[in-house]
Structure 1
Amino acid sequence: MLYGKEHVERYQQTGGAEGHDWNGTTVLLLTTRGRNSGRPYTTPLIYQPHDGDYVVVASKGGDPHDPDWYANLQADPEVEVQVKADRFKARARTAADEEKPELWGLMTRTWPDYDDYQQKTDRPIPVVVLEPVRR
C-alpha cells in the first residue's frame, strides 16, 4: 500500500497511474510552500471533484492540531495540484460555514472515517476547496 513519501514519488513517476486510486477512493497531490522555510511540500490527499473545483479535508486523523499543509496554505493559498497526470495551479480556501455541510457529506461518502476523526478532536476539521487557476 502506498503512503507518504513513497506515495508521492510513485504518483509523480506514473502520472497518477499508481497512487490516484487508493483504498477505494481517489487521491490528488497538493503542493504548498512552507510558511517558514518557503520550500515546497507535497502531500497526498483524498479528494472529490465538486463544481469544477477539488475538495480535501484537513483532518490529520482527528489530531488536535491542523496538519502542516493546512497551516501552509493559510499563509499562502497559492498551491499546486496534481490529479492523475494533470498538474495545475490552484487557489486554496477554507469552505465557508454555509457550504461546509454539503462538502463534508461529499467527503464522508468517499471516506467515512472523517466522521470518526471529527469525534476524536475538539477542533472543527476544515474542509478545503482547491479552485483551479487556468491560464
Structure 2
Amino acid sequence: MSRQHWAEVFAAEATDSPDGSVTEHVRRYLATDGADGYLEGGATNLVLTTVGRTSGTLRRTGLFFGSDGDRYVLVASGSRPTETHPQWYRNLLVHPEVHIQVRGERLVARAHTAEGAERERLWRLMCELAPVYRTYYQPRTRRVIPVVVLDPLWRLT
C-alpha cells in the first residue's frame, strides 16, 4: 500500500480504548503532539492505532515504548495481568500495518512479534526501562508476554 493510502486510512476517526484513563491520556497526547502525555508515569509513550481484526475499525491506545535503533518496542502486557493478550496486540497479528504517533511525528509501521534471541534481548531492554514487566506482570500470568517490534515504513509528517 502507498504512503497516500495509509495517510488517508489513518486520517479517519478512530475508536479509543474502553479504559477512560487511557482515552484521556491519548486525547491529551494528540491535542498537544505529545507535549502532555509523551512522558507519562515516568516512561516514554506513543499512540498506537490498529485496524480491528474482525470489524476493520481503527482502534487507538496509548502505550509505553522503548527504542531499538530506529525501531519501536512494545510489551503486550495489557493494563493488568491476564491470561489473554490485549486487543491491540490481537489486532496487529491480523493487520500488522499500524499507525503510530511519537510526539508530533506520525508514522506507518509494520509490526512483528519478536521471538528467540531477539525477544530475550528486547525483553531485557524493556524490563530495564520498566521493571514492573518482570516483577509484576510476568509472575501473574502463565502466558509468555509478547514483545512487539514496530519497523517504520513511512513518515506521514
- Could you tell me how far 1:62 is from its partner in structure 2? 2.1
Answering whether residue 84 of structure 2 is matched by residue 77 of structure 1, we say no
Is 1:119 matched with 2:143? no
Aligned counterparts of 1:128 and 1:59: Cα–Cα separation in 2: 11
Residue 134 (structure 1) shift = 2.4
* RMSD across aligned positions (CA): 1.2
2 CA distance for matches of 1:127 and 1:76? 16
1:48 equivalent in alignment to 2:66: yes
**What is the match of residue 12 of structure 1?**
30
Give the secondary-structure state (helix, strand or coil) at the position aligned to 2:28: helix
- 1:36 is aligned to 2:66: no
Q: CA deviation at 1:3?
A: 3.1
C-alpha distance after superposition, 1:95-126 (max 9, x if no partner)? 02111111011111111110120110000000
Identical positions, percent: 46
The number of residues matched between the two structures is 134
- Runs (4+) of structure 1 moved beyond 2 Å? none
Verify: 1:62 aligned to 2:59, yes or no.
no
Q: What are structure 2's unaligned runs of at least 5 residues?
A: 1-19
Residue-by-residue CA offset, 1:12-65 (whole Å, 9 max, x unaligned): 010000000011111011100111111111110100111210000000132110
Structure 1 length-normalised TM: 0.95
Q: Of the two, which has the highest radius of gyration?
A: 2
TM-score by length of 2: 0.82
**Structure 1 stretches of 5 or more lacking a match?**
none
Distance in 1 of aligned mates of 2:116 and 2:141: 18
